[in-house]
Amino acid sequence: MSIRTPLARARGLGSAKDGTHHWWMQRVTSVALVPLIVWFSISVMVLVRAHDAAHGAVQAWLGNPINAGLMIALLAVMFYHAKLGAQVIIEDYVHPESRKIAALLVVQFLLLLLGAISIVAVLKLALA
Amino acid sequence: MSAANKRPLSPFMIGPYYRPQMTSVLSITHRITGAALGVGTLALVYWLAAAALGPEAYARAQSVLSSMLGQLVIFLFTWALFYHLANGIRHLVWDAGHGLEIDQATKSGWAVVWSSIVLTLLCWLIAAP
């Protein structure tokens, strides 16, 4: 017999108040990252081998809307995935609560900033 | 601090209280590579931002990244990326309910170790012959 109310059981949110959302989004982003990382690895290998990673070659690569779109998708999903992972690591190791919240804010703001900078950089190259 | 607060907690059990095993070492390596990749994105962001700034900034970034230290960081980043990718797929297979027996987890663990090494070497051999 459960002492939880039927409504609480139906919501399934538990003591963390957000249920399986964090866990699920970590899986969704990891599934998306599998093909994106394979594409990115091959792209970088081609850039280095065929063009010695020259500036013009990078410009031409991201000048193609398909590549720019894939790169922005990779960066957005990757930094979101990094945010979810960093959050779990901090929640596991950083105590007490005040330091935990401070660490969460700093790391998550930094990751958001890195994501924003890199996506703007790709857009600038794509729209140049 | 009460006695209850001094009990060893999960991440600090390995070592004094819990013998390290191949699977638990791979598990903590997944977390370490994840954190390292997060820090390593700084190099990726630097490279992209330099490319967006123009040829001079890009040339400077290229000389930093092609230095001995830069190449070492990118090489370790490549391995961490393929390890985290392969072990991430292992986790997704577990999430689907497969490969949870101990012998299967050990076998898939070695597959992760070797595929991460082979993919890293393959990448570097193809990109920089």
Q: Is residue A101 part of a domain?
A: yes
Residue in chain B nearest A127 by alpha carbon: B52
**What pLDDT sits at residue B14?**
67
Q: Is residue A83 part of a domain?
A: yes
Q: Is residue A112 part of a domain?
A: yes
* B123–A34 C-beta distance less than 8 A: no
Give the CATH number of the domain where residue A90 resides: 1.20.1300
Tell me the domains of chain B and their CATH numbers.
Answer: 17-127 (1.20.1300.10)
Domain span at residue A53 reads 22-127
Count structural domains, chain A. Answer: 1
Q: What is d(CA B127, CA A40) in angstroms, rounded to the nearest whole number?
A: 13
Helices (H), B3-129: 22-53, 55-65, 68-95, 102-127
* A33–B88 C-beta distance less than 8 A: yes
Angle at A18 between CA A9 and CA A13, to 5 degrees: 5
**Residues of A with Cβ-Cβ distance to B128 under 8 angstroms:** 48-49
**Residues of A with Cβ-Cβ distance to B34 under 8 angstroms:** 82, 85, 89
Q: Is residue A11 part of a domain?
A: no
CA distances from A119 to A69, B34, B68 (A): 10, 21, 28
State the complex-level ipTM: 0.89
- Which residues in chain A show pLDDT less than 50? none
**What pLDDT sits at residue A1?**
66
Q: Is residue A107 part of a domain?
A: yes
Min Cα–Cα distance to chain A from B120, Å? 10
Structure tokens at B110: 């070695």
Q: Is residue A13 part of a domain?
A: no
Per-residue pLDDT of chain B (129 residues; tens, 9 = 90+): 455 667 766 666 767 777 888 999 999 999 999 999 999 999 999 999 999 999 999 999 999 999 999 999 999 999 999 999 999 999 999 999 999 999 999 999 999 999 999 999 999 999 976
